[in-house]
Amino acid sequence: MIHCFSLEGVKLVYDAHSQALHQVDDLAWAVLKGEDFAALGQPPAAEELAEVKGEIASLQERGLLFCPDPYGGYEPPAPAVKALCLNVAHACNLACRYCFAGKGQYGEGPALMPLHTARRAVEFLLANAGSRQRLEIDFFGGEPLLNWDVVKETVFYARRRGAEAGKTITFTLTTNALLLDEGVTGFCLQHGVNVVLSLDGRREVHDRLRLTPGGQGSYDLVVRNVRRFVRSWTAHPEPKGYYFIRGTFTRHNPDFADDFLHLVDLGFDRISIEPVVAAPGEPHALTGDDLPRLEAEYERL
């Protein structure tokens, strides 16, 4: 299986199964993609075409192009559960305009997961993990810090039950950082909880969509809390979990590379910026028409 793509005008072909990456010219590109030669301006000479086809055949013989799937005969083991995402809070202290979760409530009104439900989820995970040794639990919402006591107790419970079952469980917390105080930070560092921090970049970009229920921007508070967290994280000795800043870009900021740079300027070097998930017709939704500009922005980034 090959994947043809271009980067800054350079044509590249990635062979998925050998993991070889080839830089190719326009003719080889057209041959590999099965395109007609109209885009080349003039049809290639017969010798030139034969030469390209010969090179492709040679790469194929050497296992560097159209390599067979090395896992072709692989039979996967019986399905096992390896990770749970616990929506511990169907509630939120923000009201982001692009929220995919109905302002955190998923259309059902606010609710917090009781501890006994979280414990049953841990038991479900252990009972269905099969031979898997490494398991994961994500705390998600809404805003999981609204149910912080249950998060903490679930970590304690899962660690104990995991050890009894001979499994290692890792934890990840995704938060909007409004309640990310020193107590939460200390707990996450001490217990190796990975933390994903939502921050979209420049103040005007973040505050346009990540608003409090009263309509105020959340940038100042989020940046203050995230910076304090990252300072503590940086100073904390290994072993520790990871963190990264999770930004969302929308139709309003197709120049999202500037948001990335803003996050770097704030002192963060673990950043993931991803496209918004939104229904077509939403003012911030991305459409197919945005693709050329977004592709150019990724190259700029």
Binding interface with ligand SF4 (CB under 6 A): 92, 94-96, 99, 101, 103-104, 141-143, 176
173 closest CA partner among 212, 199, 136: 136
The residue written with tokens 């809070």 in the block is: 89
Whether the upstream peptide bond of residue 239 has omega within 30° of 0, thus cis, is yes
Burial class (CB in 10 A: 0-12, 13-18, 19+), 23: exposed
Smallest gap from residue 282 Cβ to ligand SF4 (A): 13
Smallest gap from residue 195 Cβ to ligand SF4 (A): 14
**Of residues 37 and 106, the one with the C-beta less far from ligand SF4:** 106
**Of residues 144 and 162, the one with the C-beta less far from ligand SF4:** 144
**Of residues 176 and 253, the one with the C-beta less far from ligand SF4:** 176
**Of residues 49 and 99, the one with the C-beta less far from ligand SF4:** 99
Separation of alpha carbons 163 and 238, rounded Å: 21
Smallest gap from residue 140 Cβ to ligand SF4 (A): 9
Separation of alpha carbons 144 and 33, rounded Å: 47
Asked if residue 296 lies in contact with residue 8, where contact means CB atoms within 8 angstroms, the answer is: no
**Of residues 52 and 196, the one with the C-beta less far from ligand SF4:** 196
Contacts 24+ apart (CB under 8 A), 232-236: 232/182, 232/185, 232/186, 232/189, 233/185, 233/189, 233/195, 236/189
**Of residues 212 and 232, the one with the C-beta less far from ligand SF4:** 212
Smallest gap from residue 275 Cβ to ligand SF4 (A): 14
Smallest gap from residue 225 Cβ to ligand SF4 (A): 13
C-beta neighbour count of 72 within 10 angstroms: 7
Smallest gap from residue 285 Cβ to ligand SF4 (A): 15
